[in-house]
Structure 1
Amino acid sequence: MADGATFEVEALGQVVGGRIEPTDDFWGGTRAIVRLDGSRFTADATKGLEEFSHLEIVFRFHLTDPTDLNLAARRPRDNPEWPEVGIFGHRNMRRLNWLGVSRCRLLKVDGLDLHVEDLDAVDGTPVLDVKPWFGEMGPRGEQHQAEWTTVMLRDYFAPGAGD
């Protein structure tokens, strides 16, 4: 593997509507549109997508402060009761490439507008990829996770106010 290998990624659309500021919790019921770039895609790009209930969206955390990157272990949400965890044990925006992945419900396809719910990305977020969710691509075998994550995410998809 080449040290420091880089590559370019182009946004293929952006999030329109929904939240305007990122928050830690209460994303449930948040509705937004993933608007694909009409100068590069036609409605054929979304043909058949309405057959799927969920999408997987890859996006760029564009509002993150680049000086906030910390590659060392730290406590999730700076909570002293939770253990220190390395950067790859977190799913937040403090990441080397500022990439996020979200699974959301697809409500409607309207040309190049994908109406979604529970997408935890804010208005104006650059969208890098859209994939339909295939159940067969989900976790296989027994699943487990650190106990602190269950406590931390208890309200993550709880209904939000004003969405």
Structure 2
Amino acid sequence: MEFTLEPVGFVRGGRAEVRDDDWDRERAVIELDARFGPEALAGLGDFSHAEIVFLFDKVSEAGVQTGARHPRDRADWPLVGIFAQRGKNRPNRLGVTVCGVERVEGTRLHVRGLDAIDGTPVLDIKPVLQGFLPRGEMREPAWAGELMAGYWA
């Protein structure tokens, strides 16, 4: 089965190159494709956060990984499967991030903390609703907490 997706927009601004950590200081704009008018973003400015689905378009097909690897290539962290981490070299190269909504201006969504670089194709935008946040207690391995220690800061 095959699907074709067209970007709903593109990231403008923020980082020009991939670099881990300190993403929360980044400000960017998601500029909608010309087929959308301002009504597509109507009401989104009332939310504090949005979930952005995007394509890691700089990852080549040859760079895609399907097995296990050490996150960030750190041998001191365990070997884990591609679906047990959030690395960019995923089979479908999809990224998902919850970021802060700063404001909406027409067909431009201003965000902070989006870990996608300038020019990245955006596939979908969803408001973050409290009812869709994790229910119950969360757990994660120690290496995941170490990896995230400087990711947003």
Q: TM-score, normalised by structure 1?
A: 0.91
- The answer for unaligned runs of 5 or more in structure 2 is none
Task: Give the residue type in structure 2 aligned to 1:111.
Answer: G
Per-residue CA deviation, residues 30-86 of structure 1 (Å, 9 max, x unaligned), is: 00000011x211111111111100000000001113212221211111111111001
> 1:16: which partner in 2?
12
Q: Quick one: which amino acid aligns to residue 83 of structure 1?
A: P
Given that residues 69 and 79 in structure 2 are in contact (C-alpha distance below 8 angstroms), is that contact kept between their aligned partners in structure 1? yes
Q: Residue 71 of structure 2 contacts residue 87 of structure 2 at CA under 8 Å; is this kept in 1?
A: no
Alignment RMSD: 0.8
3-state secondary structure, aligned to 1:103: strand
Is residue 2:29 matched to residue 1:33?
yes
Q: Distance in 2 between matches of 1:29 and 1:123?
A: 15
Gaps of at least 5 residues in structure 1 are 159-163
Q: Does 1:44 align with 2:39?
A: yes
- For residues 75 and 83 of structure 2, the distance between their equivalents in structure 1, rounded to whole angstroms, comes to 19
Summarize the alignment of residues 1-163 of structure 1 with structure 2, pairs less than 5 Å apart.
5-37=1-33, 39-158=34-153
Q: Partner letter of residue 102 of structure 1?
A: T
TM-score by length of 2: 0.97
Please state which structure has a larger fraction of its residues in strand: 2
